[in-house]
A and B are shown apart, each in its own frame.
Chain A
Amino acid sequence: MAEPLLDISEFRMYFHTEKGVVKAVDGVDLTVHEGEVVGLVGESGCGKSVTSLSVMGLVPQPPGKVEGGSIRLTGKDLTHLRQREWQRIRGNDISMIFQEPMTSLNPVFTIGDQIVEALQKHQKISKKEAKKRAGEALKEVGISRKGILGEYPHQLSGGMRQRVMIAMAMVCRPKLLIADEPTTALDVTIQAQILDLMRRLNEETGTAILMITHDLGVVAEMCDRVVVMYAGEVVEKADVKTLFQDPRHPYTQGLLKSIPQLDKRFDRLYSIPGNVPDPRKMPEGCRFSPRCEFAKDICMTQKPDLLDLGKSHFSRCWLHDEKKGDADRDPITVTT
C-alpha cells in the first residue's frame, strides 16, 4: 500500500499537573490513507480528543508534553513544529471541525468574514476572489440562500452552523479533515443531513476524514476502518465490517453488546461493570483488566501488546497470545 497520509506511531502525550501526571494518550498507533474515512471511537476520557488535537498541534505545551512517538503527515513529523510552520499546515493540509459549532465560530464576525479570513490566511488571493470562493464553499455544503455571507452565527440553526464550519474547513481543500464529534450536538434528522454531506464531500474531493465519535452507529455508517481507544491506548483496530462482526477485544465486545439497538431486542442490556479508571491511577498491566470478565493473572501485572491477528486486525489483549494466554478462553463468541 502507498505511504499513508497520516501516520501516528507510538504517540504519547502526557499532562503534568499539580496532582500528578495524566497519561492522556499513552501509545497510539493509527494510519489514515488518502481518501479514507477512519473512525476513532471510545468513551469520554479515553484520549481520542487529545489525539486529534495533537494532530492539529492544538494541545498547549505545557501542561501537555509529547513523551514519545511521532505524528507524520505525508512523511513529515509534526510533533516538534514551530508555530509558524503549523500555520502553513493547519487549514491547508489538515483542518478540523468541532462538536459545538457555536463556540467554534466567532460571534462578532459575519460568516463571510470568517471564511474569507481563513482563505486569506492560507492562500495569496484578493479579498474579492476570497469572497467569491467563500460563496462557492457555502453552496457546496448546501447553503445557497442569498445574504448568508453577511449573517452572524447566532442567526443560524445548529445544523446550519455545522455546515458553515465544514465549508470553512474545506475551503482550502485539505488532505485531511478531522471531525471531532461533528454531529453529537445535533438532532437525528439534522445529523443525517450532515453525515450525508460529509460522505459526499469525501467522495467528491477525496479529502480523508478522521472521525472522532462515541456513537458506534455513526462509525458503522461512515467509516472504512475503525480504531477503538480505552484509557489512553488503542485496544483494537480493524476494518469496519470485521470490527462489528468479529470484535476480538473484550472491551469492544462489551461496548457493542451494551448499546440498545433499534432493530434488535434484548430483555436486558449487557453492561460492562465498573467505571473508566482514573487517568492518574492507571491499573497495572492491561488497563481494562479491572472491568474485564476474562481477566487472568497476567492481565493484572503485564501490559499486553497490540497483536496482529491478520488482515490488518489488531487487538491489545493477552487472550490472543497462545503462549501466555490459554487460547480456548479466547472470547471470540459474541452472544448478540
Chain B
Amino acid sequence: MTQSQSLLEVRNLKKYFPIRGGVFGRKVGEVKAVDDVSFSVNKGETLGIVGESGCGKSTTGRAILRLEEPTSGNVEFEGNELTRLKKEAMRRMRRELQMVFQDPFASLNPRKTAFEIIEEPLKVHGIGHASERKEQVMELLQVVGLDVSHAGRYPHQFSGGQRQRIGIARALAVRPKLIVADEPVSALDVSIQSQVLNLLEDLQHTFDLTYVFIAHDLSVVRHISDRVGVMYLGRMVELANRDSLYDQPLHPYTQALLSAVPVPDPDSVRERIILSGDVPTPSNPPKGCAFHTRCPHVMDICQEVRPEFKDYGEEHYVACHLLEK
C-alpha cells in the first residue's frame, strides 16, 4: 500500500446515546452506538465502512462531521481537531467535509427546486454573487449528469437516481475535500445504482475527492473502496486493504459476513457460515469481544477481555483473540 498522507484521523471515537426513563426522565442506561473506533483516511482514497444495521457505521459517519456530537475521542482533519471547534468554526469547516445521504426522498427539501437546493450551500458559505452562483449550479448539474433545463423542477419530479445526483451536486457545490457518503446507492435499483457508482468514481478523479463510503452491501463496497473497515456492534473488528480483506478475511465475523452474501452465479459452490442468533442490543453489549455470542470459534478469553484492535502485518487490523495465539 502506498504511504500517502492521511487526510482524516479518527481516534478512540465514542458516541453513546443516553436512554432516559422514569418520571423524571433520568438517564437509566446508554446505547453504545460507536464504542472506541479508530481509523485513518488517506488523501484521495475511498474508505469503505460495512456492517449490518445497528453496527454504528452511520453514527460514525455523522460523528465525523459532528452531525452527532461525539461523546469522546478525536477527529483530526488536515491537522485540525474537529471535536474542539466552536460552532461557527465548525460551520466554516464543513466547506471541506460534506455528506451524501441514503434516502434521496427524505434528504431534499420538497419545497425547493433543484437549483435552489444546489445553490443553498454556496449561499450559506457566502460564495459568489447571484450570477456567479447561477453559473456554478448550472455547471454542477452538468457534472452530475442532469439536464440543465430541469433546474427549475422540484424533487418529486425527479426519479430516485436523479435525486441522488442532486444530493451529490449539493455536496460538491462547495468543493469539499472529503465526502462522507452514507448508503448513497442502497435505495436505488440495480441499473441506476451502477450509474451513480460510476459517477462517484468519475467525480473522485476529476475533483480529487476523498470518500468515506458507508454501506451494508459488501459487493458495492468492494467495488468502490481502496480500504475497507468492518464494524460490529459499535466496534471496528477488521480494517484492511480491500483485496486482503475480501480474499483473506481474518476476523470470524468478516468471514461469516462474506460467506452469507448471495452470489449471482448458480454454479458457485461456497461453504456458507450461517451465524446463529441475532445481533445483541447495543444498550447491553456482551462483555469481552462483542461478537463472542455468535462466534463459531469462541474461547474463554473472548467472554472476558475485549480484544485489542491490532495490526497483523501490512496494515491489516483485526480485533480478535484467535490471532494472538
Interface residues of A (CB under 8 A from B): 43-44, 157, 159-160, 187-193, 195-196, 214-221, 240-241, 244-245, 254-256, 258-263, 265-266, 268-273, 275-276
Contact = CB atoms under 8 A, between A and B. Distances in A.
Contacts of B275: 189, 192-193
B77 to A, nearest CB: 29
24 contacts: A43-B190, A188-B261, A190-B278, A192-B274, A192-B275, A215-B262, A217-B261, A218-B262, A220-B268, A221-B262, A256-B264, A259-B194, A259-B264, A260-B224, A261-B264, A262-B246, A262-B258, A268-B198, A271-B191, A271-B194, A271-B198, A272-B191, A275-B159, A275-B162
Contacts of A258: 190-191, 193-194
Nearest to B159: A275
A237 B201 CA distance: 34
B262 A44 contact: no
Say what secondary structure dominates the interface of chain B: helix
Interface stretch (B16-24, B68-76, B148-156, B214-222): B214-222
A252 B258 CA distance: 25
Nearest to B158: A275
Contacts of B276: 193
Contacts of A244: 264-266
A195 B220 CA distance: 21
B147 to A, nearest CB: 12
B26 to A, nearest CB: 24
User: Which 7 pairs between the two chains have the least Cβ-Cβ distance?
Assistant: A217-B262, A260-B223, A187-B52, A192-B260, A258-B194, A43-B189, A269-B194
B264 A189 contact: no
Interface of B: 52-53, 159, 161-162, 189-195, 197-198, 201, 216, 218-220, 222-224, 246, 256-268, 272, 274-276, 278-279
Given A191-B262, A217-B263, A271-B198, 13 more contacts: A43-B190, A44-B189, A160-B278, A187-B279, A192-B275, A220-B264, A245-B267, A256-B264, A260-B194, A262-B222, A263-B263, A265-B222, A272-B195
Contacts of A214: 189-190
Given A259-B190, A271-B191, A188 B264 contact: no
Given A43-B189, A189-B275, A244-B264, A261 B219 contact: yes
B189 A262 contact: no
A43 B91 CA distance: 40
Contact of B220 (A256, A260, A272): A260
Contacts of A219: 264
Nearest to A185: B53
A282 B275 CA distance: 45
A128 B257 CA distance: 42
Contact of A188 (B162, B201, B216): B216
Given A259-B190, A262-B246, A271-B191, A189 B262 contact: no
Given A192-B260, A218-B262, A271-B191, A259 B267 contact: no
A262 B218 contact: yes
Contacts of B53: 187
A214 B262 CA distance: 12
B266 A220 contact: yes
Contacts of B197: 260, 269
B116 to A, nearest CB: 23
A271 B199 CA distance: 11
A189 B257 contact: yes
A255 B197 CA distance: 15
A27 to B, nearest CB: 21
Which of B53, B192, B257, B258 has the most chain A CB atoms closer than 10 A to its own CB? B192
Nearest to B52: A187
Contacts of B190: 43, 214, 216, 255, 258-259
B96 to A, nearest CB: 28
Contacts of B260: 188-189, 191-192
Contacts of A157: 278
B195 A216 contact: no
Nearest to B195: A271
A266 B84 CA distance: 42
B121 to A, nearest CB: 26
B189 A188 contact: no
B260 to A, nearest CB: 4
A193 B274 contact: yes
A265 to B, nearest CB: 8
Nearest to A263: B263
A187 B262 contact: no
B194 A261 contact: no
A188 B218 contact: yes
B272 A260 contact: no
Contacts of B191: 43, 254-255, 258, 271-272
B274 to A, nearest CB: 5
A189 B278 CA distance: 9
B264 A217 contact: yes
Which of B162, B190, B222, B256 has the most chain A CB atoms closer than 10 A to its own CB? B190
A275 B157 CA distance: 13
Contacts of A270: 194
A64 B110 CA distance: 29
Contacts of A195: 262
A214 B189 CA distance: 8
